[in-house]
Amino acid sequence: MKRYLFLLTVCAMVVLGSCKPVYNPPVLPEVPSLAEKYADYFPIGSMIKADLLEIASDTAIKHCSIVTFNTFLFNRVHPQENIYYWDDCDKMIGFARAHNMKIRAHSLIYDKTNPEWIFKDNNQTVSREVLIERMKQHLQTIVGRYKGQVDYWTVVNEATGEILYDDPDGTPVISCALYKPSKWQQIIGDEYVELAFRFAHEADPQAKLFYNENALEGVAGSDKRFKTYTILKNLLSKGVPIHGIGIQGHWRINMPDVDEILSAIDLFASLGLEVQITELDISFYPLLRWYIPALVPKIENFTEEMSLDQAWRYHTLFNGLRSRKDKLTGVVFWGLSDDTSWLRTQPDTRMDWPLLFDGQYQPKKAFWAVVDFP
Ligand code: GLA
């Protein structure tokens, strides 16, 4: 008898566990402005690519009170030692300022966007001293040029160590190191992060300087969360001018739990830092897509069921985020329209529908879910 009762309980748990809430957000005759709807909570907006500015500008003007420009990536803005390209940066900053949006400039030091010249000196690996000098010159030229115009800089992106990484010859390494063994870290040492913040601060003491990182939430990310916390705590205790943490927010349809996200926000806020969600999107694929894409079947069509699932996910997420309005100073989507999302090309080419607007910049159910509150 006991055995049957046990089986019955397990079956009930499986059935109940797989029941999804039915949530279909109300669609109003007028599309409200996201920025206005969130005015009492936090600035909200999107990353906008320079080559999409024209097509995206009406949507951005209506909905964004904060924008991120990644025209500041090292290899784009400073591809050769004495050559800087300012056109896109100037254009984007001019646009945001004309429309009274807060500006996040992304990312000054990011190991995936190094220009080739930076680590070479007369065909040898550059010395620590020369690299520090080059970093200083790079940061101070850019931050100095836009002094007083940029609200938030991502000074360093993705420097935290990962449990598993491939060393330069491709051998997998398991590591407990706090910092990722990037080129910057290998030549300058862990101190490169501290130096970057100090140099940027010298160039614009009023600008808010952010550290930006991925996988800071969720069970799989907890190691990174606590390593990042430790890095920031150590730097803050040395008086390094870090003002905020960017939690990237590349999340999935069923993970991480909203509670995990909120506890990451609370943890970083406990250091006295501003917290921003800086690259929000919600993919329909599991994390495995990043490791073995071939094992994850491609989804060809965006069905009604997927649209409702995503609406529920965004709705519960934003209910949670609004509850942290005293800690969050910005929430930024990683793009406006699904068809321009990086997730359609990285890590492989396939359809995904992670954002609030479709390819025609029309609001999806996910949009209506985010504005569905009194
Ligand atoms: C990371 C970086 C961004 C960008 C995305 C992919 O999240 O922070 O700068 O490269 O990956 O678009």
CA of 143 to the centre of ligand 1 (A): 20
Position 142 pLDDT exceeds 80:
yes
What is the percentage of the chain residues whose pLDDT exceeds 90?
88
pLDDT (mean) for 144-162: 97
**Confidence band (pLDDT; 50, 70, 90) for 93?**
very high
For the residues 189-194, what does the mean pLDDT come to?
98
Question: What is the best residue among 70, 108, 182, 348 to mutate for testing ligand 1's pocket, by most ligand atoms within 8 Å of CB?
Answer: 70
Residue owning the nearest CA to atom 6 of ligand 1: 342
pLDDT at 165: 80
Closest atom of ligand 1 to 279 CA is 7
Instruction: Write out the catalytic residue numbers.
Output: 158, 279
Q: Which two tokens stand for residue 172?
A: 């997998």
Q: Which two tokens stand for residue 204?
A: 């614009």
What is the reported pLDDT for 218?
66
Q: Which atom of ligand 1 is nearest to the CA of 212?
A: 8
Per residue in 336-371, pLDDT tens?
Answer: 999 999 999 999 999 999 999 999 999 999 999 999
From residue 300, alpha-carbon distances to 21, 148, 303, 347 in Å are 24, 46, 9, 17
d(CA 337, CA 349): 17
Q: Which residues contact 51 (CB under 8 A, 6 or more apart)?
A: none
Residue whose Cα lies nearest atom 8 of ligand 1: it is 157
Q: What's the burial of 366, exposed, middle or buried (CB within 10 Å: 0-12/13-18/19+)? A: buried
Instruction: Determine the distance separating the centroid of ligand 1 and the alpha carbon of 21, expressed in angstroms.
Output: 32
Q: Token pair 């001293």 is at which residue?
A: 129
Backbone angles phi, psi at 211, to 5 degrees: -100, 135
Q: Where are the alpha helices (DSSP H) in 40-111?
A: 53-63, 74-77, 87-98
CA dist., res. 328 & res. 322, Å (int):
9
CATH of region 2-14+37-370, choose from 2.60.40.10, 3.20.20.80, 3.40.50.11240, 3.30.560.10: 3.20.20.80
Tokens 């991120």 appear where? 68
Q: Is 283 helix (H, G, I), strand (E, B) or coil?
A: strand
What letter would DSSP give residue 40? Answer: T
Contact 119, 126 (CB under 8 A): yes
Residue 18, pLDDT score: 52
- How would residue 2 be classed by pLDDT, with cut points 50, 70 and 90? low
Chain mean position to CA 353: 17
> Are the beta carbons of 109 and 157 closer than 8 angstroms?
yes
252: Cβ contacts below 8 Å, ≥ 6 apart = 282, 283, 284, 285, 286, 287
Indicate the pTM of the whole model.
0.94
Interior/surface letters 168-196, b for 16+ CB within 10 angstroms, e for the rest: eeeeeeeeeeebbbbbbbebbebebbbbb
Residue 303's pLDDT is: 98
pLDDT > 70: percent of the chain: 93
Domain segments of the chain: what residues? 2-14+37-370
pLDDT at residue 217 greater than cutoff 70: yes
**Ligand 1 center to residue 366 CA distance, Å?**
22
Residues with CB under 6 A from ligand 1: 70, 106-107, 157, 214, 248, 279, 342
Q: Can you tell me which atom of ligand 1 is nearest the CA of 334?
A: 12
Measured in angstroms, how far is the CA atom of residue 148 from the centroid of ligand 1?
25
User: What number does the ligand 1 atom closest to the CA of 157 have?
Assistant: 8
